[in-house]
A and B are shown apart, each in its own frame.
Chain A
């Protein structure tokens, strides 16, 4: 029932907003829908927390601690993004960057995107997981090109082609998975259900699963933004409207990683060796290093933070690949805090770029003086994302480093190198942006307070004192990912 509410509200919201998306009350409808889904997700989480994992809808849906945690996160971040999007998009509309068809399209696709993400997380069927992932991509492709400038169209085209190709390869991996599953579970829909697959993973044919994992890794890895399949990410995340950048960076990458980890669990059960983990570690480490060095060369603020997303996803992938309770706990925590921090950063960045009418970092100055919320929000957000205590990212990175030193000590210097370079790159750029005098071309702005403050408080709380229920929740998820 709750599941139907979750999915139904966002889907119906999408339909309604397709018609009324350009009216004055459209952002409010958006916010209400997201709030409703957030409440539903809390209800769902409480049920899983007390009763454990369960299936529903004639085995079509499956919820365990891993997926429900991401459901709550998705609902929360999309809710705060809708709150942020209200003043942001109003200003974009006033300045003529989006027309009224664009607004309808934007609101409708936003809710459809949320729907697709929930479907991805809640489904038990590996095939439907793929379909929902593709749907999520398709919903956002045209949103990236919303402003219809040449660079936006180019970014959206790259996104479409590269992610389309990646996802097609992931489909091939899914077909191979089905092939292996058919031998053990018989033909028909049961062979694609994750609950069944995880039970018989030891009996699935290793050679086939090895091949399947390579394709799934390449396919879903493209969507996570792992190097060398990451070319679309900086463009797509920087050219679209900022609320879209926030949800893409904060949510879609997490969901792609979720799909990858689910497949990894199956492959580990079948192969018995650490191959899948090693591959993930390799890709993760490569992403961290390439992304952090690329950050040194960026001039556009959103592109820089997009590379930061690649780096953090690399850290999470590396940690999931490493395996073991500490690293997995760290990875789950990292997904949470990265999502909260990055979306908060994008909120402030969005306002900052609106204040200066540009996304170039060399032209943005004097944020703290101009708008203290934006300035301090950006400063604290960046300090959080580079891993400074007492923010939550420090905790997760510390856990991951500890696990690395224990299980794969030779990788630690590379990890530290990546983190260090990212630290330097970000602080070097952000410091001149937030300090200094207000330049003449800056406009005053009424920023959206609630999302940024809410996120930063949460990150601080998690960093200082992890609530008991949260750590128990993570422990449950870690158990499932053994």
Chain B
């Protein structure tokens, strides 16, 4: 595979990751969100493997496998079990309406593009053009967390942020050292268990997973 073909494939995958990030932003049905998140993880792991193949960094294959297991299989499965146990059926309403959210998302993409221009100028990697997409995914995950009212969708936004961070690591550098990646993966797994426990606590205490209901701790006058 020549460098430019790999760069093109990587660009296509980056575009797909960005597309899934936007899709997560506007999707209303909870299983739709779950599937989009799984697809995002899949594109991410394929991209890591492609970069590993082109740059001949074999530890990226391990990272790719790790991403695949964790983000495409384990985490969606945990979320699926939680959704079934918590009997979440309804559509999720957003705080801000959908077209406005999309416009803010586009603004964030442009912002992240301008913010990462120094890195693009300095980078010699084949993946330098995708760092803007990585930061955009992080910011879109953040936007998703802000504009959603349901606890599960906030967590999916958080996980999508982590996806963006991982993508940033493979775009700017050829992946962080393996010990760091394993540690990050472990942290995410622990976080997954914790938020699983959390959902049950929230559901028991509030009888809903709508986080707008959790507004008792405020400044008193």
Q: Which A residues have a C-beta under 8 Å from some C-beta of B?
A: 125, 127-128, 130-131, 134-135, 138, 141-142, 145, 148-151, 153-158, 160-161, 164-165, 168-169, 171-172, 175-176, 178-179, 182-183, 187-189, 191-192, 205, 207-208, 211, 234-235, 239, 294, 297-299
Contact = CB atoms under 8 A, between A and B. Distances in A.
B187 A208 contact: no
Contacts of A141: 194
B154 interface: yes
Given A148-B205, A153-B214, 19 more contacts: A127-B179, A130-B180, A130-B184, A131-B183, A131-B186, A135-B187, A145-B201, A148-B204, A155-B217, A164-B158, A165-B142, A172-B135, A179-B123, A179-B172, A183-B122, A205-B122, A207-B118, A211-B115, A297-B221
B158 A192 contact: no
19 contacts: A127-B179, A130-B180, A131-B184, A153-B206, A160-B195, A165-B161, A168-B162, A171-B184, A172-B168, A178-B173, A178-B176, A179-B123, A187-B174, A192-B177, A207-B118, A207-B122, A208-B118, A211-B115, A239-B217
B213 to A, nearest CB: 9
Contact of A131 (B187, B198, B217): B187
A149 B84 CA distance: 24
B117 to A, nearest CB: 9
A127 B187 contact: no
B95 to A, nearest CB: 15
B145 A165 contact: yes
Given A154-B216, A172-B168, A208 B122 contact: yes
Contacts of A127: 176-177, 179-180, 183
Interface core residue of A157, A182, A297 (most chain B CB under 10 Å): A157
A297 B218 CA distance: 11
Given A153-B201, A161-B154, A178-B173, A138 B165 contact: no
Contacts of A188: 177
A153 B183 contact: no
A128 B219 CA distance: 36
Given A161-B158, A172-B135, A298-B220, A128 B183 contact: yes
B211 A157 contact: yes
A361 to B, nearest CB: 11
B197 interface: yes
Interface string B181-204: 001101100110011011001101
A168 B205 contact: no
A62 to B, nearest CB: 15
Contacts of A156: 198
A179 B119 contact: yes
Given A168-B158, A205-B122, A211-B118, A153 B177 contact: no
B169 interface: yes
Contacts of B133: none
A407 B219 CA distance: 36
Contacts of B168: 172, 175
A150 B206 contact: yes
B151 interface: yes
Q: By DSSP majority rule, is chain B's interface helix, strand, loop, or mixed? A: helix
B190 A153 contact: no
Nearest to A164: B158
Contacts of A234: 217
A146 to B, nearest CB: 10
A171 B168 CA distance: 10
A203 to B, nearest CB: 13
A134 B191 CA distance: 9
B138 interface: yes
Contacts of A145: 198, 201
Contacts of A149: 205
Nearest to A239: B217
A175 B123 CA distance: 13
Nearest to B178: A189
A105 to B, nearest CB: 10
A142 B197 contact: yes
B115 A157 contact: no
A135 B202 CA distance: 22
A135 B190 contact: yes
A142 B214 CA distance: 17
A175 B166 CA distance: 9
B214 A154 contact: yes
Nearest to B211: A157
Contacts of A150: 205-206, 214, 216
Contacts of A183: 122
A172 B171 CA distance: 12
B194 A235 contact: no
B220 A299 contact: yes
B1 to A, nearest CB: 21
B198 A157 contact: yes
Contact of A154 (B116, B123, B162, B217): B217
Contacts of B211: 157
A473 to B, nearest CB: 31
Nearest to B165: A171
A297 B135 contact: no
Contacts of A175: 165, 168-169, 172-173, 176
Contacts of B138: 168-169, 172
Contact of B177 (A155, A189, A211): A189
Given A131-B183, A160-B195, A182 B142 contact: no
Contacts of B186: 131
Contacts of B217: 151, 154-155, 158, 234-235, 239
Contact of B165 (A168, A205, A235, A294): A168
B126 to A, nearest CB: 14
A179 B174 CA distance: 9
B186 to A, nearest CB: 8
A154 B217 CA distance: 8
Contacts of A178: 169, 172-173, 176
Nearest to B185: A131
